[in-house]
Amino acid sequence: MALKADVPHWDLDQYYLPDSGKLETDLALMRTKCEGFAERRGLLVPGRALGPAEFLDCLRELEDITRLAHFLEGYAALAFAQDTSDQRAQSQLARVEEALTHVENDVMFFTLWWKELPDGEAGPLLEAAPGYRYMLSRSRAFRIHTLGEAEEKICNIKDLNGRQALQRLYDTITNGYRFEGSFLPGGGAGTMGREELMVHARSHLPEVREGAYRELYRVYGQAGPHLGQIFLALAGDWHLEQVSLRRHPSPQAARNKINDLGAETVESLLRVCRRRVPEVFGPYFRLKAKRLGLGTLRRYDVYAPLVPAEGTYSFPEAMAEVEGAFRSFDGQFADLALKVAADRRLDAGLRPGKQGGAFCASSVPGQTPWVLANFTGQRHDLFTLAHELGHAVHSQLAACLNVFEFHSALPLAETASTFGEMLLTRRLMGKAGEREREDLGFALLDDAYATVGRQAFFSLFEVQAHEMISRGATPDELAEAYLANLAEQFAGSVEVGDEFRWEWVSIPHFFHVPFYVYAYSFGQLLVYSLWRLYESQGPAFVPRMKAILAKGGSASPETILSQAGLGPLDDEFWLGGFEVIEGFIPRDQRE
Ligand SMILES: [Zn+2]
């Protein structure tokens, strides 16, 4: 285990000092700003054309309110993530979310007016506000899915103690899970959190890997029917709102529209993955079984290392590797990553109640992002750091955009993060001996499976699950469907234990952001294409990559990529990504 003292804790006090009353002051300020904005309603009356200057004033005021709202929400979310069992943080998050809902409702009249404005009147105003163009035209694209002001407000208010409360409940329940260490050699003592448990799932000892997975799904499996009920309620709510009320053609169509991706692009991605994942990874899993000396690979062995880990990394060592990897690409990349730690916005230690996994949060442009990780000193954690710091670089490169357009859409959100992981792989391979280099090559393929294959099949399952739920399916029936999904993706190359039927209730994205996960497959296949360009173009590629990232969410993903000379995003594009993956599989031993 890494030394505790080396691992940074973020300094949330630089956001708001506890008990300083500043959070309350800002909440009150936000209310005052909203009241001021509400006076604009008098300007937006039928028969009175709004002048370009008045329109710009409205937008700037709205931007100011939105910035403050994101800033407040950012804080409450971080305080909760820091300790999800802290009841003060729980109620603070609920309170801020409630205040934000009121803000959203207070300013809604402007957005609704804008959406309903006839094209002839909207055109000149759009011309007058070039800095907000994408946000404004996106907003109008949702006109047909928008309800009346009263209905929109009711939806928002009911979500507070509806879907948002269910999501908080799911987080509180699952972050509180403790796992028995009795599967460890010698019986292990005491309990551990999920992060520590998953370290054992990557052990070089087959029985330890098996024990860790069995323990994971013992705990989730016991709660499976209950967590499944939460999922049923969230999926049912999504369907009622997005399909029945807002008239999106399907539950996933709502997400595609939010992502500004055409249905055919997403269908093409998932179609190619559905065919190529078993074709590409099946032979890889058989090769891996051979190298591990196993007859058939078990699901427990999918992420097994070829060689036992050669010790662990201290946190400073891990950061040095990530920095070196980023600097080999571009000095600014490394500097922006280091700024997160220097500004004390990196929290990497293990604590009970702390949110599991890892994330990078960038609430407003111009503010150094916050990164949470659960560092255990394994090589895997280096990749998590490279990933999250990649996100942090991305949002800092896009910092000159306004608050509406600075977050990139989900499909491009994983570009810098996964590219950062590729850079780290290249660096570690350059330093490794022959055995470790081979192990890293296999780890790269494991990661390709985890991000492209596994997430694409999650996405296929999610589409199926929502469809089944709309026909009244039970959690047990969903679990059966999930096993069938696993059987299809592994196509006989991997043996799957029955306990994996509850894997889907352990995936937070299904509960928090419906239809999120294809963004991972999208992002990773895109990054393989970018990587191929980088290898062929060398340093000339660097500004091209930075230009993509600096666009944030100021245009559609397809526009941003085509401006960089990439696309169209059709079957051929995705197949190109799979070619890169196949190129990683050691040739001499390929069956
Ligand atoms: Zn990410």
The position carrying tokens 């007859």 is: 295
Domain with residue 125: its CATH number is 1.20.140.70
pLDDT tens column, 422-463: 999 999 999 998 888 998 999 999 999 999 999 999 999 999
pLDDT at 308: 84
Q: Is residue 235 part of a domain?
A: no
pLDDT of 35 over the 50 cut: yes
pLDDT of 62 over the 60 cut: yes
- Say how many Å lie between the CA of residue 391 and the centre of ligand 1: 7
pLDDT tens column, 75-100: 999 999 999 899 999 999 989 988 99
- Say how many Å lie between the CA of residue 145 and the centre of ligand 1: 29
- The angle formed by the CA atoms of residues 258, 407 and 272, to the nearest 5 degrees, is 50
Share of the chain above pLDDT 70, in %: 98
Q: Please state whether the predicted TM-score (pTM) of the whole model is above 0.85.
A: yes
Q: Is residue 45 part of a domain?
A: yes
The position carrying tokens 């990054």 is: 527
Look at 589 and 32; give whichever has higher pLDDT.
Answer: 32
d(CA 115, CA 273): 37
pLDDT at 410: 87
- Say how many Å lie between the CA of residue 535 and the centre of ligand 1: 23
The candidate with the shortest Cα–Cα distance to 23, out of 61, 60, 78, 73, is 73
Q: How many helices (H) and strands (E) does the chain have?
A: 24, 7
Q: Is residue 241 part of a domain?
A: no
Identify the H or E element spanning 579: helix 571-584
Q: Is residue 270 part of a domain?
A: no
- Say how many Å lie between the CA of residue 516 and the centre of ligand 1: 11
3-class DSSP assignment, residue 117: coil
Q: Is residue 585 part of a domain?
A: no
The one-letter amino acid code at 209 reads R
Q: Is residue 104 part of a domain?
A: yes
Look at 281 and 43; give whichever has higher pLDDT.
Answer: 281
Q: How far is CA 543 from CA 329, 397, 402, 547, 553, in A?
A: 11, 12, 22, 6, 18
Q: Is residue 137 part of a domain?
A: yes
Q: Is residue 58 part of a domain?
A: yes
Residue 122 lies in domain = 14-161
pLDDT tens column, 379-438: 889 999 999 999 999 999 999 999 999 999 888 999 999 999 999 999 999 999 888 899
pLDDT tens column, 303-350: 999 988 777 899 999 999 999 999 999 999 999 999 999 999 999 999
Task: Count up the domains in the chain and report the number.
Answer: 1
- Say how many Å lie between the CA of residue 400 and the centre of ligand 1: 21
Mean pLDDT of 543-570: 92
pLDDT at 45: 81
pLDDT band at residue 1 using 50, 70 and 90 as cut-offs: very low
Taking a C-beta distance cutoff of 8 angstroms, is the pair 449, 284 a contact? yes
Mean pLDDT of 223-250: 97
For the chain, the average pLDDT equals 93
pLDDT tens column, 462-476: 999 999 999 999 999
pLDDT at 567: 83
- Say how many Å lie between the CA of residue 414 and the centre of ligand 1: 5
- Say how many Å lie between the CA of residue 355 and the centre of ligand 1: 15
- Say how many Å lie between the CA of residue 359 and the centre of ligand 1: 7
Taking a C-beta distance cutoff of 8 angstroms, is the pair 494, 312 a contact? no
